[in-house]
Amino acid sequence: MSIKLKQGKELIKKALKKYGSDDPIRLAGSAAFFLIFALSPILFIILSVFGLVLDDELLRNKLYNEIRSALGEQGTSLIREIISNFRNTERNVLGTIIGIIVFLIASTTFFNVLQTSLNRIWGIKPKPDSKFLNTIKTRLISFAIILGLGIIFSASLLLDAGLSFLQDSISEWLGGLSPYLIRAGNVLISIAVSTLVFAMVYKLLPDVKISWGVTWFGALVTAILFSFGKYIIGYGLGASNIGAIYGAAGSIVILLLWIFYASIIFFLGAEITQQYAIMSTGDITPKDHAVRIEIKEVSNDEKKGD
């Protein structure tokens, strides 16, 4: 379904109105809190699994460069130190197994929290008798998403290598235009990678039946918002001098604030996706193990009438 200008304005208006009623500050705060604990396990799993088939140092450098562009050197150093400490800690076989289990639980718990928040936006919740099975399913989906993130990230490495080769090949033809074209290519790759990530989360996590057409639309809009938003967030955090204000705790505060503001954008994208789904299909259909919910205000007079 194509969107005309008038429909687009109405879509944004409805999405923003519902966004305000869904308590985005609480949703983003919850996501930021749990991702603080889950981020390093997620990155560690990606590095451990895909470091087996790709150059480990190349993978780590690419990952840390991406984090540095968003969080700066202080936030990157914190994440690098956490991952390094886990890798270098001496432990026996049992300790290693327990550590891996804890990492898996921490990383998948974040996606469970994210699913609950997305379900609220969609007005959906699992049926009471399916909660246990749904929890197991969510954990498996969460791990699949983590592996998917690794695959997407690994593919972006190949694209970066291709761009570097292209820059060397065309620089003598295009002269001064070459750096700008490569920069534009990097932006497009970033948006494409973000679109894939958001599409995977929007499609798999919420307990709602959503078409791929709606999913791709919402994911692309969110990716564009995120691509511009992360520079604004990064500039704002850099200009605020938070690291100096909070001293030793500066790194964790910067990381927490960045995740919080990024979550604000993520949930706004989810609201836009939900409104686009309603505009496209006229209704929202929960998955078989879920039901629709509706929250409405009840006046005192209505209570007395009951």
Q: Which pLDDT score, from 0 to 100, does residue 98 have?
A: 74
Identify which has the larger pLDDT, 84 or 25.
25
Q: Which pLDDT score, from 0 to 100, does residue 148 have?
A: 79
83 touches 40 (CB < 8 A) = yes
pLDDT tens-place string over residues 154-165: 676 666 666 666
Q: Say if residue 186's pLDDT is above 60.
A: yes
Over residues 43-52, the mean pLDDT reads: 77
How far lies 233's CA from each of 14, 185, 188, in Å? 25, 22, 19
pLDDT interval class at 251 (50, 70, 90): confident
pLDDT interval class at 214 (50, 70, 90): very high
How many whole angstroms separate alpha carbon 29 and alpha carbon 34?
9
Q: Containing domain of residue 108, as a range? A: 5-305
Percent of the chain with pLDDT over 90: 23
pLDDT interval class at 277 (50, 70, 90): very high
Exposed / middle / buried, residue 6 (Cβ in 10 Å: 0-12, 13-18, 19+)? exposed
Q: Which pLDDT score, from 0 to 100, does residue 183 have?
A: 76
288 touches 209 (CB < 8 A) = no
Over residues 202-224, the mean pLDDT reads: 93
Over residues 160-185, the mean pLDDT reads: 66
Over residues 126-139, the mean pLDDT reads: 75
Which H or E run includes 136? helix 131-174
Tally of structural domains, the chain? 1
Q: Which pLDDT score, from 0 to 100, does residue 162 have?
A: 66
pLDDT tens-place string over residues 10-35: 999 999 999 999 999 999 999 888 88
Q: Say if residue 174's pLDDT is above 80.
A: no
Over residues 114-132, the mean pLDDT reads: 86
pLDDT interval class at 150 (50, 70, 90): confident
Q: State the sign of the Cα–Cα–Cα–Cα dihedral 96, 102, 105, 111.
A: negative
Residue 68: name the closest of 240, 301, 251 by CA. Answer: 251
Q: Which pLDDT score, from 0 to 100, does residue 268 have?
A: 95
Identify which has the larger pLDDT, 61 or 306.
61
Which H or E run includes 208? strand 208-209
Over residues 112-134, the mean pLDDT reads: 85
